[in-house]
Amino acid sequence: MSMSDADRETLMLAMLPDVPFDGWTRHALLTAAAKHGIAAADAAAAFPRGPADMAVSFSRWADRQMLARLGHLDIGTMRTHEKVAAAVMARFEALALHREAVRRALRVLAQPLNAPLAARLIYETVDAIWYAVGDESVDFSFYTKRGLLGGLLAVTSLYWLEDRSANFAETRGFLERRLGEIGALPRWRESVASRLDMLPNPFRLGRALRGR
């Protein structure tokens, strides 16, 4: 049986109560499948790469939850760094009941073979955040913004996993301080961009040669 994305997500969510004990494993998958009357073979086929595919489904679900929560907030009058902070915190709030599942997913993604996948999932999250807060950059800053936020999201996620403060107040403070530090970087980005403009552009040169 071919499983739809919605059915796959339902199965992944059904795993969550067992993941803190069993991890993102075949045992947790089959337990969830049994609850929904899904054949073991069909459940396994839904996640052909096993725990890695389960982590993908979990991360993308969290991204959708983040965007849904952000859509309920009035961010129109916020400054950019405040919008970004609201988006990141919305993701953490969506995952608040599943911190151990997040920890287990990070262990899966930390495996060397899964490094490219981990990088892709972080990119998907930060790309969704920047578009959600209205960023339309397409130049040098497009990449720097995503790179900086990707690193910040990774570090803040680790901080959040250990945060026991009410409503994750300490995580919010940590995040806002780091965003404040990044906010001082536009002048650095402009400096780097101007220096790059002084270098030969291989793509422009290539077009010029082809035009001859």
8 Å CB contact between 129 and 84: yes
- What pLDDT is recorded for position 39? 94
**Residues 18 and 81 reside in one and the same domain:** no
Expressed as residue numbers, the domain containing 11 is 1-48
pLDDT at 193 over 70: no
CATH number at residue 154: 1.10.357.10
Q: Which residues of 130-169 are buried (b: 16+ CB within 10 A; e: fewer)?
A: bebbebeeeeebeebbbebbbebbeebbeebeebeeeebe
DSSP code of residue 150: H
How many CB atoms lie under 10 A from the CB of residue 106?
A: 15
**Residues 59 and 26 reside in one and the same domain:** no
Copy the structure tokens of residue 199: 């270098």
CA–CA gap between residue 167 and residue 93 (Å, rounded) = 8
Task: Dump pLDDT digits (tens) for 134-154.
Answer: 988 777 788 888 999 999 999
**Residues 24 and 68 reside in one and the same domain:** no
**Residues 147 and 158 reside in one and the same domain:** yes
Copy the structure tokens of residue 43: 């459940």
**Residues 39 and 89 reside in one and the same domain:** no
Confidence of residue 105 (pLDDT cuts 50, 70, 90): very high
- What pLDDT is recorded for position 196? 44
**Residues 20 and 58 reside in one and the same domain:** no
pTM for this one? Answer: 0.85
CA–CA gap between residue 112 and residue 152 (Å, rounded) = 21
**Residues 18 and 83 reside in one and the same domain:** no
Q: Which residues of 117-127 are buried (b: 16+ CB within 10 A; e: fewer)?
A: bbeebbeebbb
**Residues 121 and 163 reside in one and the same domain:** yes
Number of structural domains in the chain: 2
**Residues 166 and 79 reside in one and the same domain:** yes
